[in-house]
Amino acid sequence: MVFASCRTESYDPEYAELRIQVLHNCGNGPLLYDTLIYQNAAGESYQVEHLEYYISGITLYGSNGSRYHDDGIYYVNARENPQMIIHLDSIAPGSYYRMTCNVGIDSNRNEYGYLPNTMENAGMAWPEFMGGGYHFIKLEGHFQGAALWGFAVHLGSDSVLPTCSTNSQLALKYINHTATLTMDVNEWFQNPHTYSFINDGNYTMGNQLLMGKIRDNGSDIFSLQQNN
């Protein structure tokens, strides 16, 4: 009985659960706000003041070919709620090698009134005159040009929905697993496009070309680390 109680490794429930904490880095360390200490790939110093977005369409890819898909749409306000947790349940135990998700909301659900009418969702509304739905992300701050200047990276409209992918090994054997999903804010400005606030633009909303660059850069902004 004593030995059996210590053998947690072999526990294999019908379903596993995964609690994902969403964190935000910029470069090599945790994201600090209002501090002009970051540099994008174009060599421009910048600071972050505001970051809110949605995560949706979380999908885990099993080593045996299976897939787990979560229908949830999660609002993240990085500054005001830095302890954001996403709870995934009813996951088939096993090994997973990849996770994908959207930053924003897929076209089937990106329409005015789809989300509960909360203050947060109301503030993320994308104007009907511009196609409706919701902002996918609002990332705002200042950068150092000739003077300290503002930037606002806003994405919305279906064609610029970023799909993010991270190759991370997950071994889900138990009821309660935890993991950390970390966004590197600096990745929004590089790979494949080196994004310059000065040369490309400091404001993306309504500019399909700029929003497209940011969308492409968003493919590798996340890393996922299993904690237990």
Residues 197-216 that bind another protein (CB under 8 A): 201-203, 205-206
Binding residue (CB under 8 A) for another protein from 125, 171, 175, 198:
125
Alpha-carbon gap, residue 66 to 60, rounded angstroms: 8
Structure tokens at 110: 């990106």
Tell me how far apart the 2 most distant CA atoms of the chain are, in Å. Answer: 71
For residue 67, the tally of other CB atoms under 10 A from its CB is: 12
Closest CA to 17 of 227, 181, 225, 175: 175
Rule CB under 8 A: is residue 37 a binding residue for another protein? Answer: no
SS3 at position 124: coil
- State in angstroms the smallest separation of the CB of 126 from another protein: 9
- Segment contacting another protein (CB under 8 A): 66-74, 110-118, 179-187, 219-227? 110-118
Cβ proximity to another protein, 121 vs 223, nearer residue: 121
Cβ proximity to another protein, 177 vs 213, nearer residue: 213
Binding residue (CB under 8 A) for another protein from 57, 62, 133, 141:
141
Q: How far is CA 92 from CA 71, 144, 177, in A?
A: 16, 48, 13
Rule CB under 8 A: is residue 81 a binding residue for another protein? Answer: no
Owner of token pair 């809110």: 52
- Segment contacting another protein (CB under 8 A): 16-24, 52-60, 63-71, 141-149? 141-149
DSSP of 99-123, one letter per residue?
EEEEES--TTT-STT-S---HHHHH
Cβ proximity to another protein, 197 vs 222, nearer residue: 197
Closest CA to 124 of 160, 77, 162: 77
Rule CB under 8 A: is residue 34 a binding residue for another protein? Answer: yes
Residues 147-176 that bind another protein (CB under 8 A): 147-152
Residues near another protein (CB under 8 A): 33-34, 49-50, 113, 116-119, 121-123, 125, 127-130, 140-142, 147-152, 201-203, 205-206
